[in-house]
Structures are given as C-alpha cells and as structure tokens.
Structure 1
Amino acid sequence: MKFCWCTLHVKDLERSLKFYQEIVGLTINRRFEARPGINICFLGEGETQVELIEDKHIIIPKNQDHFSLGFEVDCLDRMLEFVQKQGINIESGPFQPNPNTKFFYVLDPDNYKIQFVERKNH
C-alpha cells in the first residue's frame, strides 16, 4: 500500500493554486470539473500529491488547527525569507527540536497549517 494524496477543501481554487504553486512550488498534475460547482486539482510530481477541491456547497471550518502538511526545503532560512517577502505571516516557529531538524509554519489561504522543514543527515 502507498499513500497517494491528501485532500484539502478550499474556498477559492485559484487563490489556493497560486499559493501552492508560487509559495510551495508544486506543479499542477491534473485539473477538472467533477460536476457543476465542484472543481478538483491535483498538485505534485511525486508519489504523494495534494488534491484541492473547490465545492461551492461545502462550508469550510475556519479552524484547521489540528492538521498540517509538511514540505521539505533545502534551506529553511531562505524559505523563511522568501515567504516573508511574499507577505505571508509566520504562524509559528522557527523551531529546532534537535540538531538535524528545524521548521516553521505558515497558513495557506484556507488556514491549513503548512510546515516547511529542513532536515540534515536523513
């Protein structure tokens, strides 16, 4: 068994696509309208993808506090500087729980926590 994707329900697909493409660096794998009012987009080139669903019939909770997606970066300091230049607030961190790992969180347009992590010696 392998993990295929994680689904996020979003209010505005275009706004979310901009974030995941320009900030996270994911590319669109496929995109389609499932039925009127429901648009789906899969992002990412690897084995695991992010699925964004814009469904005009669903109310998305404001508090996504107990969920996060993590993305590995080569240099956390550069990523921190990049997101700040893009006008994105740091939600929390940076943290360094051990000498080989450091990370911080931002919020995506729908308040999902996005973690950027730098790992050494893995």
Structure 2
Amino acid sequence: MNDVLKGLLAIMFTMIITENYVLVKFLGICPFLGVSKKLNSAVGMSIAVIFVMVIASATTYAINSALLIPLGLEYMQTIVFILVIAALVQLVEFALKKFVPALHKTLGIYLPLITTNCAVLGVTLLNITNTNPITGQG
C-alpha cells in the first residue's frame, strides 16, 4: 500500500470511529435508531443527513460571515441556522418524494426530523465557532 492510501484509510477510520457524532458525542441518535433496521432506509437517511449537514455548514458559515457578524446580529445565529436547515430538509424531502418515492415512504416521519436533529445544528454551530470550514484553521 502506498502512503497516500494509508493516509486516506487512517482519515476514514478516524472520522468513522473516533470522530463520529453519533458514536462519540451522541448527537443525532433518534433517526439513527429509528431507521437503522433496514439497510436501504439507513443508507438513504445517512445520505440525506450528510447532504443537509454539508450544505447547511457551508451556507450558515457564509450567512454568518457575510450578514450576521457585519450587521451585529450574532444573537440571531441559532434561529437563522434552524431556518436554513429546515429549508434544506424540505428540499431533500421534495427531491426524495419526486425521484425516490419508495425511500420517501420508508423514511416516513424521520425525514422531517432531520430539521430538529441536534447533530445537524451542532455541526453548524461548531463549524462557525471552531474552524473555517474551507481551510480547517481555527
């Protein structure tokens, strides 16, 4: 194995086991337990949560940096972040309903619950307080 592949495997192991929000920080465990009985629904929920987390982190960082901080509205972070997350969850729900109706039906009530998933909000809040999401620097 070359060094690049070893490095990638080490990063994957670290992120999957030691830095996993569900396993280490116990964030977002309700949907994990609710849909993990079938592999298909668990994978679908995972992809939906990952999509919402990634897009919400980038969007909230941009909103915070470009609007909230310059205007002195940092106290509105939580409300604005929840609105961004809710909009993204609605986007995911519409897309699943249109393109993968069987998965939409399988996920049921757990799909809208991504909005209230503390892991998604926690990641966006940790993202703006700890590091720059692009460079990873604090």
What range describes the TM-score normalised by the shorter chain of this pair? 0.3 to 0.5
More strand by share: 1
TM-score (norm 2): 0.30
TM-score (norm 1): 0.33
**Structure (1 or 2) with the larger CA radius of gyration:** 2
- Larger relative contact order (CA 8 Å, sep ≥ 6): 2
More helix by share: 2
